[in-house]
Amino acid sequence: MSGTGAEISLVGAVNLALKRAMADDPAVLVLGEDVGIDGGVFRATEGLWQLYGETRVLDTPLAEVSIAGVAIGLAAQGFRPVAEIQFTGFAYPCVDQMINHASRLRTRTQGRLTCPMVLRSPGGGGIRAIEHHSESPEAIFAHMPGLRVVMPSSPARAYGLLLSAIRDPDPVVFIEPTRLYRAAREAVADTGEGLPLDTCFVLREGRDLTLVSWGAMLKETLEAADLLSDQGIAAEVIDVATLKPLDEKTILDSVARTGRVVVVQEAPITCGYGAEIAARVATGALTSLLAPIQRVAGCDTVMPYPRTEEHYMPSAARIVAAANRVMAYT
């Protein structure tokens, strides 16, 4: 997909995927606060209202629980709604709708109805925002049976994964790393081709150590892999991409080769998604491990205000330090 299209940012890739999905399928609708004429708070829906009008691009009241509820109702009636929540800190009111209705519709109706909706939202910190604008709730949504949870880390993967999420017959929570929205540009061809869900992506191969991460933290993880390379340590880097269901085979196969693993997440450490990956590795690759599994994570605090945000966010230096600990273990 890369290399043949225009270079665009991650938020540009989201916009491109939405345009393509709406062009290909008249059942695809977009709804949320300011997604219409204004094009969304980050301009992810820019131009959609002008292309498809107010019957397919719906500006909603400032009521997140209503946005999720309307999307579920539309999905049950044969539409494919893509609901935008302006920041994941405002997605918590949607948890009731997603737990009690979206995730259960298939089993509740014994397969008579499904819920082909996407709840997409910018998430994570690093943009020096105020409270509720830097949350990392992926573990909360991943804990719910019946929901897929996807988090892209590049423009190409944002385009391909969002197309596949919209085409999926069941509900998907699609969390877009806010600080990567305009951090880099990449060539993305508008082919309409989706990328596989439920699959990890190996971004860098290595023999000594496995680094596992997702979303915005791939930036620091890849930087750490470069620093480790300078030390003569070859780190394999895995982008989880779809957190639920987890492609554990790719991770376990990597650990079987390297024997060492560091999991990197931005969310608070306790009960974070890194604990799930560590448990899967301990269960499925225990005899391959040459050192205890390390986790690098945010703190068990509310995301701090901008001046101290950098002290909360895992850095490449912290990842390198964790990698050196597992490499030194004998």
Distance from CA of residue 255 to its chain's centroid?
23
| Helical packing angle, 10-24 and 155-167, nearest 10° | 30
Residues 6+ apart with CB under 8 A from 215: 123, 124, 138, 151, 152, 153, 175, 177, 180, 266
Q: Which of the residues are catalytic? A: 133
Strand segments (E) across the chain: 6-8, 28-32, 57-59, 80-84, 118-123, 148-150, 172-177, 186-188, 201-204, 209-213, 235-239, 242-244, 261-268, 294-298
Question: How many C-beta atoms surround the C-beta of residue 8 within 10 A?
Answer: 20
Residue found under tokens 């909603």: 60
- The CB-side HSE value for 198 (13 A sphere, CA atoms) comes to 5
Q: Using CA atoms, how far apart are residues 180 and 266, in angstroms rounded to an integer?
A: 13
Q: Using CA atoms, how far apart are residues 254 and 260, in angstroms rounded to an integer?
A: 9
Q: Using CA atoms, how far apart are residues 54 and 283, in angstroms rounded to an integer?
A: 51
Distance from CA of residue 41 to its chain's centroid?
19
